[in-house]
Chain A
Amino acid sequence: MNNLNKKVKDTITKPHKKISLKASLSLAASALLGTSAVTAPVSHAKPADEWQFDSAFLVYSEVDRVSATEAIIAGTKTFANDEVLNLKLTVDVLTGASANGAIAQPMAQTFTRPSGNGQYVTPAGETPLDDTFKDTRVQVNGQWAQPLSDNLTGSVGGHLSKEYDYLSLGANGNLAYDFNRNNSTISMGLSYFQDTFTPEGGIPKPLSSMLIGDSSSPDWDTEFAKTRIGDSDDKSTADILVGFTQVINRRMITAFNYSYSMVDGYLTDPFKVISVLNFDGIAQDHIYENRPDSRVKQSTFMQTKYHFDESLLNSVADVSYRYMWDDWGITSHTIDTRFTLPVGAASYIEPHIRYYQQSAADFFQPYVIGEQAKTAFVSADYRIGEMTAVTVGAKYGVVLNGGNELSFRIEYYRQMPTDAGFVDPNGLNGLDIYPVVEAVIAQVSYSF
């Protein structure tokens, strides 16, 4: 550590060698690791050149709903024996309103906040949104990759993510085998996450009615507690990913993945309710949703990248398709396309279009009618309902003097939930049961 201090001091005292942000971060990263980097003397020539940093600041903002601000910084260092270390810090802040699952009604509706402290009123004709949504998340990731033999590369990684009401710990391991003159690669990875959810107000009793009334009354807390079954619950996720990458020719590379994911534990969203309607479509009650405690997801993924020649301005096309299916009855198709177009010698523009379509989970219902309510599993969360979503955007990047890259990205994301064939009662005529969600994504990135 003295050595480290000395080097920092040397750097600062030398008049013509300004300590750059990169050098500071390199030092910080190395100090954290208690290792090297300092061996590439900061005070001489190029300061700790081997650390490469990527940073980004992103704002995700939905119209009238949630806003998220996210900052990322990732450092990558390549060691002498082709070992690669990647460390990443992510911080995000979420504020705004989130759909609570209930549907719009011809009259105003009152809901109790998830904490049980106080109520909020949704005006007639509007989709009920819980506006108390606020969270800050800090995430740390580390990944170490190294060659194990001539053709075999191994990597291991760890993940920690903490929110006010959520803790997630994860680990992963991967092996990649290159063959056919390094033109083909087979890889396999395993990952495991253990999450603990401690929601504000505790875990609601599935299918129980949301208590609505005077939260300052003396027996409120006792009554509210009757709708709760605990303070926290767990979820585990185990993923297996098998991949195959193939260089086709000098201009083209393809990848195929298959993944199998098992999620077990508390998969219900404790903040979501579902409207219980009478036959006229008027809400009589709001019950807490209930999802199965396991889910098996599988997906196939295919990607191709193609480098065009001068006739198409040396542009690069990136096209991928994912098909996902699970045992909740959800299937989805995702097509993602990017086109990187060089502009001049040092900049590029990259249009992006993403199309997503999913079918509804078997237990998804936008609302329940009468006694139908007491089915085992039910959720009105539009995110597991039938939906089409489109993202359209573009990125502009420029390589600055010294090879650092600055880029800007702006995208428009539109979710269009659709009716999966439910016949609405007359009382819902003219109400928007499947409201469109629109968001803008703006991002600035800097690599140095």
Chain B
Amino acid sequence: MKPLNVLLNKLSFTKSLQLHRPKFKLTLLAVVIANLSACSNLGVEPWERDLLAKKEMALTSSPIDAALDDHIYFSKEASSGGKSFGGGGCGCN
């Protein structure tokens, strides 16, 4: 029952968004600020970075693969970028 309530709350929230756009922006801002301040509790001490320092934990662990993939999908699909710049750069077909 609980998930249903959550869903209903979400739905009514969405509806109110459409009705009160400025309010929505304020709420969004509040949520973002709340998240940012919550973030100050997150994280690790410098000596706890053993795993995060590993290459496979880098957000882009293989920049070469990422560059090659970006080029392929830029040429074959209507979307590009998002993770990094979408850019121009080729007249690829």
| Chain A interface residue count, Cβ-Cβ cutoff 8 angstroms | 91
Across the interface, do B79 and A358 meet the contact criterion of CB distance under 8 Å? yes
Provide the A127-161 mask, 1 if CB < 8 A to any CB of B, else 0: 00000010101010000000000000000000101
A residues adjacent to B (C-beta < 8 A): 54-56, 58, 60, 66, 70, 72, 74, 88, 90, 92, 94, 98, 133, 135, 137, 139, 159, 161, 163, 165-166, 168, 170, 172, 180-184, 189, 191, 193-195, 197, 199, 235-237, 239, 241, 245-251, 253, 255, 257, 259, 261, 263, 269, 271, 297, 299-301, 303, 305, 307, 316, 318, 320, 322, 324, 326, 330, 332, 334, 340, 348, 356, 358, 361, 383-384, 387, 389, 395, 409, 413, 415, 437, 441, 443, 445
Provide the B18-59 mask, 1 if CB < 8 A to any CB of A, else 0: 000000000000000000100110111110111110101101
Determine the main DSSP class of B at the interface with A. loop
B residues adjacent to A (C-beta < 8 A): 36, 39-40, 42-46, 48-52, 54, 56-57, 59, 61-65, 67-68, 71-73, 76-93
CB distance from A438 to the nearest CB of B (A): 12
Contacts A301-B82, A332-B78 known; A245 to B59 CB distance under 8 Å?
yes
Across the interface, do B68 and A56 meet the contact criterion of CB distance under 8 Å? yes
Among candidates A247, A257, A263, A395, residue contacting B44 with C-beta atoms closer than 8 Å: A247
Contacts A166-B90, A239-B87, A322-B83 known; A248 to B42 CB distance under 8 Å?
yes
Contacts A72-B67, A74-B63, A255-B59 known; A249 to B44 CB distance under 8 Å?
yes
- Chain B residues near A56: list those with CB within 8 A: 64-65, 68
A/B interface sample: 17 pairs, CB < 8 A: A55-B64, A60-B72, A94-B92, A159-B87, A182-B46, A239-B81, A241-B81, A241-B85, A246-B42, A249-B43, A250-B51, A299-B79, A324-B82, A340-B61, A356-B77, A356-B79, A389-B77
- Report the Cα distance A251→B19, complex, angstroms: 41
Contacts A90-B67, A253-B57, A307-B51 known; A241 to B84 CB distance under 8 Å?
yes
Across the interface, do B57 and A316 meet the contact criterion of CB distance under 8 Å? yes
Among candidates B44, B49, B82, residue contacting A334 with C-beta atoms closer than 8 Å: B82
- Chain B residues near A170: list those with CB within 8 A: 87-89
- Report the Cα distance A92→B82, complex, angstroms: 24
- Chain A residues near B88: list those with CB within 8 A: 168, 170, 193-195, 235-237, 263
